[in-house]
Structures are given as C-alpha cells and as structure tokens.
A = this chain, B = another copy of it.
Amino acid sequence: MSTPENVQIRLNQRPTGHPDENTWKVVTEPAPSPGEGEMLLRNIYLSIDPAMRGWLNDAKSYIPPVGIGEVMRALSLSQVEASNHPGFEVGDYVTGTQGVQLYALSDGEGLRKVDPGLGPLPRYLSVLGMTGMTAYFGLLEVGQPKEGETVLVSGAAGAVGGVVGQIAKIKGCRAVGICGGQEKSRFVVEELGFDAAIDYKTEDLKRAIKSNCPDGVDVYFDNVGGETLDAALACLAQGARIPICGAISQYNATDGIKGPANYLSLLVNRARMQGFVVFDYAASYGKAAAEMAGWIAQGKLKSKEHLVEGIERFPEALGMLFRGENLGKLVLKVGEE
C-alpha cells in the first residue's frame, strides 16, 4: 500500500467571536504509519457540533481546549485501514474522536466498533452517537419528564433538539419545539411529530410559548441560551426542570454572555436549572443506544442527518451550524464508505 496523503485542519489562531479565515490552517502531509499496537484509521464522517466552538477557547472546561497548531478535535466515524492492534481488523468501522483530518493513528483508546448492518453509518454520529446520548440522558436523567407534562426544547430542528422532542413524545409528553423559519417548523411537526413548533424568527417568543404550553413548561431543554432561555423562564410550571445542554446563541458573543435575567422565576416556581455533560453517562451508553435503536426499528424515532461533503468545507459547515442552516444532525463526509 502506498502512503496516502493526509489532509488536516489545524487550529491556527483562537477566534474572537465567529471563527474566520485566520482561525484554521490546512496542512497536507503523508499519513503516518502505525507502530506496535497501533492502527491507521481512515475517517469517513465527522460530527459538526456546537461544542466545537467552546473547544477553541483557552478556558477551563470539561475537556482541555484544542491547542494552537493541533488538529481540530471532532467526533468521527472511521474505518480501520491498517492494524497492528490485536482487537481491531482492517475493515472494521469505529467511532471515536479522530479530529478533522483524513487519517489518524490510534491505539484503540476511546474507540467503539459499530455494526454497519444496523443502519446508515452517519447515524452513529447522530441518534446512535453522542448527539442521541446527549438528548437521551439530558432529557431523561436531568429533565425527568413525567407522562402528561409539557416539554419545550430549543434548537428543535437541530441534532439534539429533534431527538429530545421525539423522546418526549415516546414518554407521553406534549412536545413543543422552538426553531428558526417555516421550513424547520414544518419539519419538526410533520416529520418529527412534535405537537407544535414556534418560529423564533417571526413570533413573539413569550406569547407563543404561553399559548403553546397552556399549563406552563415542565421541562425546558435548552440548547440556545439568550433571549430564548429568558422567554422559557417566564413560562415555567411549578417544579420545572431546565437541563442546560448548550447556548449556541452565545458561543460567539464578543461582548460577554447574556445571563438569564428571568432566573428568579426559578425561585417563584421552585424550579431548577441544571447543567450536564454527556460523558458522565458513558457507562450507560450501551443501554441507551439499544433502547433508541429499538425505537428507530419501531418507527417511533427518526434520525435526520444533514451531510456536507469535503474536508475543505469544514469551516463552512461549522458556520452553517451557528447560522442555523442545518436541518438535523450536521455531518461532514470526508471519505468514501
């Protein structure tokens, strides 16, 4: 086998606000050769996630930031191209965190083999991957919805939000989604089965939440922060739970993050707002994935991936995410299956 060429997107400079042309550096070099106990992985799909923005900041967080000059971190679905590792064979499909590059070395740490027969491969980066796990544990463990309650979710046409609403329905809740634009609203209600959608671009958020959640919001699953979080806080039911999954509206803010001015609604309504990191539930991923695969098989849970093709389009794909241009889980295809 001749040595293939590896294309990598590396962090060139930390962005202030939105990433721009100075943020990234494209490096082309020969793919590395696996040493003893190692293997060479060929990346096929990369997960484009809001969390990526946080990884660019030089700040204490749940994992260290990506270093200047390092390959950008990304969750990945890859195929084993060459293996000196006893546990993996050439041709195996694996998920991991191989970064924005065409090839990566691995010693097997953090890899999970996937069965390509169970469904389309990109699904392992969406419903059956970290996205699905985030929705599953954030809603069920942190949000603790009970049958008959109202679950409101922002970023409802996005990767996590769409799964949250569908699981809420499976659990017998009323699911209301907030998203941007008519196409997304239609998608959320007609394709994903939400009870209602609110278009934050054209509707008065607070009024729309009140009319679509007449008994108040029991669980607000927040992906966006900002004005939307404030509007949801103004509409809580007694004892409401707010899983804080993310704040995509705030990640590129250059003048500081906007805190939720209505947070005292937590007091009046005996409510709680709780952050979580999906990695904490790693021990239960298998059980969750099996349950979700079952729901998919029964037609109760739909998985929607939004594919963008070409590693050079990584900066563009990340921009789409923050401009809300994706419908479903945004996945970058960087190699053939």
Which positions in A face B, CB cutoff 8 Å?
Answer: 60-62, 225, 230, 244-247, 250, 256-277, 280
- The closest CB in chain B to the CB of A251 belongs to B264
Question: Judging by beta carbons under 8 Å apart, are A268 and B277 in contact?
Answer: yes
Contact (Cβ within 8 A) A272 B271: no
Which of chain B's residues have a CB closer than 8 A to the CB of A60? 268
**How many angstroms between the C-alpha atoms of A262 and B275 in the bound complex?**
12
Copies of this protein, total: 2
Give chain B residues whose Cβ lies under 8 Å from the Cβ of A274: 266, 270-273
Q: Give chain B residues whose Cβ lies under 8 Å from the Cβ of A244.
A: 263-264, 266-267
Contact assessment for A261 and B270 in the assembled complex, using a CB-CB cutoff below 8 Å: no
Q: How far is the CA of A263 from the CA of B259 in the complex (A)?
A: 7
Offer 30 A-B interface pairs, CB within 8 angstroms, sorted by A.
Answer: A60-B268, A61-B268, A225-B264, A244-B263, A244-B267, A245-B267, A246-B267, A247-B264, A247-B267, A257-B261, A257-B262, A257-B264, A258-B259, A259-B261, A259-B263, A260-B260, A263-B273, A266-B273, A266-B274, A266-B275, A267-B275, A267-B276, A267-B277, A268-B275, A268-B277, A270-B275, A270-B276, A272-B272, A272-B274, A272-B275
A218 vs chain B, min Cβ distance (A): 15
